Amino acid sequence: MSTEILELLPTIATLLLLAHLMGRLSPWMDWKSIGLMGDAMAHSSLPAIALAMFIGIAPIYLIAPFILLLSVYLGWLDYKRPGSLNSFLPVVFSSMLAVGVLALSLSGHGHPEELLHILLGDVDSATWQNVYVGLVIVVVCEIFLRQRRTAFKYYLLHPVYVGLVGGSALRLQLEFFAVIGIVVAFAIKSVGIILASALMLGPSIAASFHTKSLRGHLRLTWTLAIALSLTGFFIAHKLEVSSGVVIAALTGVIVLLSALPQLQKNFANSRIERRNS
């Protein structure tokens, strides 16, 4: 194996682990209509980043617990007031971002390059440490999804159905939001906020235009997440540009292309209706 490929292995492995995590988790977030969650959580990490810079430690040591706690808190809030999260998330997102910017400005510790690095990420410089952490998170995520799959399907229908399979709806909700928090923290550390947000939702939304069944949706989402990550990586490698940006852009294009047949169908239907009337 050439030296170049060996050097790229941690990047490819990190991308595949992240794509697997997003591919497995994103349909459930999409179905629960909390698509904004990943984006809001990622952007809300700025106060933790500001504090880490102020103290002088690696941001991830504060980002991870901060996001985990915030995620579980939002999960609790969503349970107590169902449906309130979508109005609450944009407020959390913007106010946390504002607090972070304010803290950075006042402390004088805001290094634009370092911030840009965290926001855009740099998957190309992933290390084996990222891979090991990613593997642990994959195990945690898989245990949750395998043990709680049936209960979670019922939870999407109505919380009272969780009792039918012997579980607590609140516990399930908090576990799910904790897993989201862990995955988002890993994604920020490994690939940056923008790619994390793109992969968190894109594959599931694209898959929803092509599948009719739950099983089909889960499989297609996972396949798309892996395919998009690998394709984006190799295109970026050929063009010698950042992988994260290419994957995020490619995800957006696939989502828009997937929606086209549906839009065409709707347009054709409305023309037929107009003609008939």
148 binds another protein (CB under 8 A): no
When asked if residue 192 is in the footprint of another protein (CB under 8 A), the reply is no
Q: Which stretch binds another protein (CB under 8 A): 43-51, 85-93, 126-134, 162-170?
A: 162-170
Indicate whether 31 belongs to the interface with another protein (CB under 8 A): yes
Q: Does 57 bind another protein (CB under 8 A)?
A: no
What whole-number distance in Å separates Cα of residue 204 and Cα of residue 201?
6
What is the per-residue burial (b if ≥16 Cβ within 10 Å, else e) of 201-231? bbbbbbbbeeeeeeeebbebbbebbbebbee
Q: Which amino acid is at 261?
A: P
Is position 159 an interface residue for another protein (rule: CB under 8 A)? yes
Region from 64-72, 88-96, 126-134, 166-174 binding another protein, contact rule CB under 8 A: 166-174
Could you tell me which stretch among 53-61, 82-90, 158-166, 195-203 binds another protein (CB under 8 A)?
Answer: 158-166
The Cα–Cα gap between 216 and 202 comes to 16
How many residues are given for the chain?
277
Mark the segment that binds another protein (CB under 8 A) among 123-131, 189-197, 215-223, 260-268.
215-223
- Contacts of range 79-83, beta carbons closer than 8 Å, 24 or more positions apart: 79/159, 79/169, 79/170, 79/173, 79/174, 82/159
Q: In the chain, which ranges are E strands?
A: none
Q: Report yes or no: 30 and 85 within 8 Å, Cβ to Cβ.
A: no
Smallest distance from another protein to CB 66, Å? 29
- Least distance between another protein and beta carbon 166 (Å): 3
Q: What are the CA-CA distances from residue 217 to residues 45, 50, 214, 249 (Å)?
A: 31, 39, 5, 22
Residue 83 binds another protein, judged by CB under 8 A? no
Measured CA to CA, the distance from residue 38 to residue 43 in angstroms comes to: 9
Q: Decide if residue 82 touches another protein (CB under 8 A).
A: no
Q: How far apart are CA 47 and CA 194, in angstroms?
A: 17
Pick the binder of another protein from 168, 262, 266, 269 (CB under 8 A).
Answer: 168
Binding flag, residue 33, another protein (CB under 8 A): yes
Among 2, 87, 213, 276, binds another protein (CB under 8 A): 213
Q: Which is nearer to another protein, 216 or 261 (CB)?
A: 216
Contact positions vs another protein (CB under 8 A):
30-33, 150, 153-154, 156-160, 163-168, 208, 211-217
